Amino acid sequence: MSADPANPSKPLWSRPLPLFVLALAGALVLFLGITGLRIVRAAAESPSRTADVIIIFGAAQYAGHPSPVLRARLDHGFDLFEKGMAPVVITTGGAGQDPEFSEGGVGRDYLLRRGIPERALIAETQGSDTAQSAARVANIMRVNGMRSCIAVSDAYHVFRIRALLERDGIAVEVSPRPESRPHSLRERFLAVLREATSYLAWKSGLS
């Protein structure tokens, strides 16, 4: 006599639905684990060649002044520009909660004050998140005949930025800002998991 599939005494692992859920969970853990390793590797990269443009991704600004994180990204981008890694810098980021100032505009003004010529600066000021800014920057690059970039952001952020820009046909080198990894192992794990989850959401078409 065959076993009844609805029999509660049947082992949990042998029922079709739990097997599917376990397989799905296993695939999810594997994807996040592999993606996490790729995020960590990207965080240790540095640009190996010059590019058409340096892209500095935005962070918070306060009443027209860059936050410490944004300032550190801008200073790193400035150093790359001074080394001749690219002749143009694009700053990114919309207004967020402050309609008077955008992250991209504040970044451009900061670099202008530091001495980068106005003709070498472009501000993307409409993007409300990383994906929107990447798409708008890719369009700016196409319009200006630019094909390659060096992307500047925090260490665990550059992997997703590269994926977003490469989708639009841009050749991408990454240059994480120094000292941007969290200090504790717990904070690093959570930061990598957050980025891996955001990458999964993008790959799944959810963001």
| pLDDT at residue 154 in the model | 96
Whole-number Cα distances in Å, 137 to 31, 46, 70, 80, 123: 28, 21, 18, 18, 9
pLDDT at residue 53 greater than cutoff 50: yes
Q: What is the pLDDT of residues 146-198, one digit of tens each?
A: 999 999 999 999 999 999 999 999 999 999 999 999 889 999 999 999 999 99
In this predicted structure, the answer to whether residue 1 has a pLDDT above a threshold of 50 is no
Q: In the chain, what is the straight-line distance between the N-terminal and C-terminal CA atoms, in Å?
A: 51
pTM: 0.86
The angle subtended at Cα 180 by Cα 177 and Cα 183, nearest 5°, is: 160
Q: Which CATH superfamily is domain 46-184 in?
A: HUPs (3.40.50.620)
Amino acid present at 141: M
